[in-house]
Chains A and B, each alone.
Chain A
């Protein structure tokens, strides 16, 4: 009878897969065994397997070893017992999974659009294009912020290039995570996808500027912008994990959401900690853009000042509240 044995690491990684033909099988550290394990906690003769032709059933027995064996239900094996397909037995520090040739396998996974996107992002010409675009956009923003006449263009370009080369470091971290989990690193895909999603933050920044410029304080889009940043961060981490690890969707969601919460929780905590007890300086929205982006027709002075009633009320309430303390 055929039997398949999978050696599994304690982190649930497949180390080796062996296929055997016959009615009996011996496992241990000794060289006379059919399956030779190198784990020092395993005895020279550790497990004895036999196939009962009448019952059409495999049996397994621990050969009274030093450290014993633990069966699928987590209990030490004391006597010969039935071995069903899919059972996992622990010998020493090693895990062995026993499977019959008829053991069912999961459905095959179709190449998803996600996978196509990831593959596409990982191509050399896409990555180079993204680095070039990112560098140019950085260079543009750095250029318009320079407040002196003499500009060192080579320095400007190098600074922008360095800025854009920070992004692959992020990708490298996830490629490394994949590597230590014995998955394909897929560094190029990580770099490409990270570039694309980080660029989306610029789009978010643009909308933040546009709204901040054109709307009054009556319409606050701050929370929307914040939500957008959170969602983008989540998407970025989701893709990073998608590329790095073969996780179940629910687990991947948990990982990405958890890390996003950690990042923004930390950010909020730090900003709350930095808030002074009393701020004598006004904090206001000073967002302006070039006249081309001016979409609002503008409030009249009269309406603007009348609207300030609310400011006075708020300040008065704050003053009264503090006096009650």
Chain B
């Protein structure tokens, strides 16, 4: 999701501000984005969550039941109130990366897949280390935050935009990927293990999807995803420099949202010697 305003409910304003660059950037460089806003809903019982979310974010309009039904006909009569963030967008991450890569190859970039020590490359010239959690060997204060997600096929349901469902125990977001495919995310567990998804997480994610629309009960599970988000103690990104080696890391759960701004700042540092606002001079 490219949802900077929604992230403002718990993330620092830096994330919101840098994230505002994302939707336009991805739209300009790929055909994988879709700008139809995002919808935030809560079951009637948990409407206090919606009020709190509204109080901590901006860039939305309040919508009632008929307005929700107009935006998302398959959610008609299921929710009485919500928030519509019109300026937000979503993208198909794998398609976006593939298109980005194809464009770079067309422009003459060579991709080499190899296991290597970033220091070896740095001896030969400017090297940018973007390995995420794998950079723990040099970024000692990086920790892993486990995230789990599911990909479902449910042709009976149509959603036009990402929907975030607030719940005190199991918040959920669901992103339509087209052709009846949906991504359900995502847990956040203080763990550096990306080995397996737990039964509890599967139950919680699927139960929340079912609560959004019972038709998801008939969905097929296409994929289970588990990975480790790289995070510094304040959950904010950092750029660090040690001679020729530049580290760009700590994007936490905001990889696609912050990547354009981080890449811009790294490029400005290399080519213009402009110190990034997320520059961190302390060693990792």
Q: Do A and B bind each other?
A: no
List residues of chain A with CB under 8 Å of any chain B CB. Answer: none
